[in-house]
């Protein structure tokens, strides 16, 4: 499926003509109004905002989801203002609207663009029925620091995965025709580098060399722009000393000049005013000047443009051409959305997916997002015939709100199927279930409920402990320095372990957690992220073998927080660690003499390995990879080659496997990562079945930004791996060669 197509050439010309005609009729105040978004999160918004809308001083509202109120606001704009320009209605529709999908990081674990696209489509239709025509998603910041709360909203640490899934979200939100009923404008955010904020503290400084910025952090944004994303949002953080909201390099040079972006750029909430807080400007006037001239077209909820731009234009500090270009960008999206022809919410015209189908998509997304991290002695799946009683414990076992995750303003907990409910629905009356919450919240330090949980465990055949972190512990402004299980959960695990019963953990969290202190006390671990509306139903299917887990980690899990940042596609360094070089802290003799122990890159107290690597995920099946073959061992620049591998299910049940393709450029103009994901395919195999998976690798996918920060495709030798994680060991070698003249 191709991304949303831009308007046809004839339509583009007609739209540009209409934009020019409108601009010619607009006063400066009306132009600045189009550049101003205001909060409308109150039921009497038409009364409170009516005069400003009539006077053309508001071009967009945010946070109003009552369709009656939206239509009242729109009616004022269209029928009572001088020019009748409709409003954009924005809302954070991040991973669902009423029906909630897994958090984006969880969706990324599916490695499945189609289920991500379907989830975004459901969200768009539900949001459009409430009057929303613009969402502030997808968030495609590359996230390599699990301390950062907003890693929950991200698509992980890898540019290839984030690019493909980000495009899928754009396609789901916008559809093939942005003017169609039920399509809403997407917004790629945060431009750019926000995921690299220092120590994982939200809003903090980012320092990213241009080469890394281009090779890693900008890649998903370029993919979204190429897919036709309507809007971009700037980052709260500064980038190399210049906040994203005033960064001309990003907005003028990269986005407009290099990528030819035709949509518009919105600031993050009040981030124009915050330029002065950063210390970049002396006050609001300077802030408005910096943002407008840098290329920020719309001020989100800050009021700075409305207050300052008319004076700045009058003083000659901001040219009218800057204003006209920004307004044209905004009007272009309003035309693409069809708002001038169909401004009102007409719920009966929106082709809503049936409720049952929405639940099916949410269930499938949850099912494919869960990652099996450990399964000692094959304790999972639980055999229904052998389990007569079950202890279901923990603060997240039966909490319909918490499983929805962060940033779900419109999510409906009443639609949630919790883990406890899912297990009961599946097992019926056949199994006695003893439910003990044990802790009031995931942060509780009280152990008062532990004895009851232990008593339930002792008289049950197995224990399922629903652990993790509440939804409020991840997301914006919810960074953590310690990313272990919060509260007394580790102690609870230890007490349950003492019963001698199998202990299975279902962990719901908005980020990777350091599980080193509990992993040995758990027989099995299903990492469920925050799985959304249908999480409990999906988990029951996985626990009892109706389906096999198939999620793969979109981000590396560290052993200790001191390893952060840790990610698979690192550079090799001049002293890469090897198994032979590792000398851990307990192995160092007393007074050994001063020496560079090991002489390689690792931590004395954690080694060089993560707890779980990128792309990792176990299955109830066992997959065997063989017969890796390349279409050629000399790939010419400008050509593509096939990569085929045979995958056999050696297990006893049908299961999905995510087959992953990695490459390494051995010698480069700049140093290259030890591995880079270049492709992935989800395949379902019956027991004993062999399937052939084919990738097509084009030489363009081997391009990178070199020393002068221009994109190059460089001849040389490459290693290629195919397997079930970033540690795949089935390898081939090929050369990229120049096309010979003749």
Provide the phi-psi class of 111: left if phi over 0, else alpha when psi is between -120 and 50, else beta.
Answer: left
Residues 6+ apart with CB under 8 A from 709: 210, 211, 214
Cα torsion 571, 575, 579, 580 to 10°: value is: 170
Catalytic residue among 92, 268, 399, 541: 268
Distance separating alpha carbons of residues 244 and 232, to the nearest angstrom: 11
Distance separating alpha carbons of residues 61 and 69, to the nearest angstrom: 11
Bridging pattern class, strands 389-393 and 432-436 = parallel
Q: At what angle do helices 535-543 and 419-427 cross, to 10 degrees?
A: 50
Residues 6+ apart with CB under 8 A from 127: 65, 91, 93, 97, 135, 184, 410
Count the Cβ atoms, other than its own, within 10 Å of residue 731: 13
What is the CB-side half-sphere exposure of residue 401 using CA atoms within 13 A?
A: 6
To the query of whether residue 268 is one of the catalytic residues in this protein, the response is: yes
The secondary structure of 430-459 as a DSSP string is SSEEEEE--SSSTT----TTHHHHHHHHHT
Residues 6+ apart with CB under 8 A from 122: 96, 97, 99, 101, 353, 358, 361, 362
Q: Mind spelling out the 3-state secondary structure of 257-317?
A: HHCCCCCEEECCCCCCCHHHHHCCCCCHHHHHHHHHHHCCCEEECCCHHHHHHHHHHHHCC
Coil, helix or strand at residue 88: strand
Distance separating alpha carbons of residues 473 and 485, to the nearest angstrom: 11
Q: Which two tokens stand for residue 286?
A: 């300077």
- Phi then psi for residue 721, to 5 deg, are -125, 150
Beta-strand ranges (E) seen in 369-502 are: 371-375, 389-393, 432-436, 462-468
Helices (H) and strands (E) in the chain, counts: 19, 26
The secondary structure of 99-110 as a DSSP string is SBPPPHHHHHTT
Distance separating alpha carbons of residues 199 and 704, to the nearest angstrom: 27
Distance separating alpha carbons of residues 125 and 96, to the nearest angstrom: 10
Count the Cβ atoms, other than its own, within 10 Å of residue 377: 8
Query: Among residues 582, 608, 607, 610, which one has the least CA distance to residue 597?
Result: 582
Q: Any idea which residues carry the catalytic annotation?
A: 268
């Amino acid at each position: 499926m191709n991304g949303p197509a831009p308007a046809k050439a004839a339509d583009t010309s007609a739209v540009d003509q209409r934009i020019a005609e409108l601009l010619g009729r607009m006063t400066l105040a009306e132009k600045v109004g189009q550049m101003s978004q205001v909060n409308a999160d109150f039921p009497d918004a038409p009364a409170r905002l009516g005069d400003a809308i009539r006077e053309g001083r508001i071009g967009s509202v945010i946070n109003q989801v009552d369709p009656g109120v939206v239509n009242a606001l729109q009616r004022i704009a269209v029928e009572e203002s001088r020019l009748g320009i409709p409003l954009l209605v924005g809302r954070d529709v991040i991973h669902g609207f009423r029906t909630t999908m897994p958090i984006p990081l969880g969706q990324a674990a599916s490695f499945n663009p189609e289920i991500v696209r379907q989830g975004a489509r459901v969200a768009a239709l539900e949001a459009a029925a409430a009057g929303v025509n613009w969402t502030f998603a997808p968030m495609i910041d590359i996230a390599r620091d699990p301390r950062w709360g907003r890693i929950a909203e991200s698509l992980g640490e890898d540019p290839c995965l984030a690019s493909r899934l980000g495009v899928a979200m754009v396609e789901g939100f916008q559809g093939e025709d942005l003017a169609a009923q039920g399509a809403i404008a997407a917004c790629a955010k945060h431009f750019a580098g926000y995921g690299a904020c220092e120590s994982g503290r939200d809003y903090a400084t980012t320092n990213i060399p241009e080469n890394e910025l281009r090779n890693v952090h900008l890649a998903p944004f370029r993919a979204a722009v190429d897919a036709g994303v309507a809007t971009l949002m700037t980052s709260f953080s500064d980038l190399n000393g210049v906040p994203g909201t005033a960064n001309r390099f990003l907005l003028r040079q990269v986005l407009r000049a290099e990528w030819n972006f035709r949509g518009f750029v919105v600031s993050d909430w009040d981030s124009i005013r915050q330029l002065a807080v950063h210390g970049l400007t002396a006050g609001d006037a300077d802030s408005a000047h910096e943002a407008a001239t840098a290329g920020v077209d719309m001020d989100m909820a800050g009021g700075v443009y409305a207050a300052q731009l008319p004076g700045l234009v009058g003083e000659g500090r901001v040219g009218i051409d800057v204003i006209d270009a920004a307004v044209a960008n905004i009007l272009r999206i309003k035309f693409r959305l069809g708002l001038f022809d169909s401004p009102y919410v007409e719920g009966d015209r929106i082709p809503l997916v049936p409720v049952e189908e929405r639940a099916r998509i949410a269930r499938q997304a949850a099912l494919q997002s869960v990652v099996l991290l450990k399964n000692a002695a094959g304790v999972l799946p639980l055999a229904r015939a052998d389990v007569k009683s079950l202890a279901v414990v923990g603060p997240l076992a039966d909490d319909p709100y918490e499983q929805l995750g962060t940033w779900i303003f419109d999510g409906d907990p009443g639609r949630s199927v919790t883990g406890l409910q899912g297990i009961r629905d599946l097992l019926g009356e056949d199994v006695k279930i003893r439910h003990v919450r044990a802790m009031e919240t995931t942060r509780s330090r009280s152990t008062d409920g532990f004895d009851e949980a232990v008593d339930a465990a002792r008289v049950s055949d197995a224990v399922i402990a629903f652990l993790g972190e509440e939804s409020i512990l991840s997301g914006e402004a919810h960074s953590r320095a310690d990313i272990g299980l919060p509260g007394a959960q580790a102690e609870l695990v230890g007490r349950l372990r003492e019963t001698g019963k199998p202990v299975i953990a279902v962990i719901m969290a908005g980020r990777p957690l350091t599980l080193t202190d509990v992993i040995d006390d758990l027989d099995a671990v299903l990492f469920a992220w925050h799985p959304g509306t249908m999480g409990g139903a999906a988990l029951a299917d996985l626990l009892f073998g109706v389906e096999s887990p198939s999620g793969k980690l979109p981000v590396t899990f560290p052993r200790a927080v001191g390893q952060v940042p840790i990610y698979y596609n690192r550079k090799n360094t001049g002293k890469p660690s090897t198994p032979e070089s590792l000398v851990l802290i307990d192995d160092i003799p007393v007074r050994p003499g001063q020496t560079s122990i090991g002489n390689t890159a690792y931590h004395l107290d954690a080694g060089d390995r993560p707890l779980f690597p990128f792309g990792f995920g176990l299955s109830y099946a066992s997959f065997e990879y063989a017969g890796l073959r390349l279409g050629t061992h000399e790939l010419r620049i400008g050509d593509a080659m096939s990569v085929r591998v045979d995958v056999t299910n050696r297990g006893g049940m049908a299961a999905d496997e995510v087959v992953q393709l990695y490459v390494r450029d051995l010698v480069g103009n700049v140093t290259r990562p030890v591995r880079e994901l270049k492709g992935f395919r989800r395949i379902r195999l019956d027991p004993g079945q062999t399937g052939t998976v084919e990738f097509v690798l084009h030489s363009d996918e081997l391009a990178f930004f070199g020393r002068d920060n221009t994109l190059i495709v460089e001849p040389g030798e490459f290693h290629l791996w195919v397997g079930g994680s970033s540690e795949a060991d089935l390898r081939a070698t090929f050369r990229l060669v120049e096309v010979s003249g003749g």
